[in-house]
Structure 1
Amino acid sequence: MDITVETIIAAPIAKVWTLYNTPEHIKNWNAASDDWHTTASTVDLREGGQFSSRMEAKDGSMGFDFAGTFTKVVEHERIEYSFGDRKATIQFTNTAAGVQLSITFEAETTYSLEQQQQGWQAILNNFKRYVESLN
């Protein structure tokens, strides 16, 4: 089953694209809650390139690597990637209100669909706040 999260960001598409795909920026927004953070990030943004973000609880109690391989990259438009045996697509669309950023990903079985949707949406909301704070 696929889950989609989305938001509209009041910023130019080139800026949204850059801030979404640059490791130094990813470390500033990539967390679902204030008690987590991303301590390391790498991005090789090309088809066949890999990415990884180290996400950790700020209290040091747990952490994990979110990593995968880019399978399609269309600059300022679309990114597709695989992570484990799952896939995701990120769509960047210009609108009158800003950039609509939509992420569709294959659900996993450990957590409920609602938990997965809420977690990914929280990260996307953090990204929106981060980008708009730099305007």
Structure 2
Amino acid sequence: MQNLTLTETGGKIHSYSSQYHHESRCSNLSLRDPSLVWFSSVREQLPQHVIFKLRNLTKLSRVGIYLHGENNQNPKHMQILISKDDKNYEKIVDTEVEHRAGDFLFDLEEEKVIQYVKYVITKNRGGSGIYVSKCYAFGEVLEETKEKEK
């Protein structure tokens, strides 16, 4: 199963709250390289967020994030919300995040048909800004939207 937030799988950044500078821009989240990160602006208060638009309507089955290392900008608490239309969002994850590097993956109890995924960091480990390496969205692209692409 592919991560549908990546540029190569058709994912794109729809919007985001802030970014620190061009080397740690939010668009780094759309690239496969795990050493590139999104670091939010140190001048902006939490919560910070990023919204991905997936190429097609998708039956979403798993979401998550990847953290490259341990620092005080790592998320301490996060939420993940989903939407079919970018207007009505449903919260599917609301959790404390362990202070460690690695994947934090969440399986949905039942698949949801969506096109937008919003990742919200509400608390960090005490630093200024937040630091995230990757955002994940895994699922099955719906056949009827595949046909519209042709």
Relative to the length of structure 1, the TM-score reads: 0.31
Structure with the bigger percentage of strand = 2
Structure with the bigger percentage of helix = 1
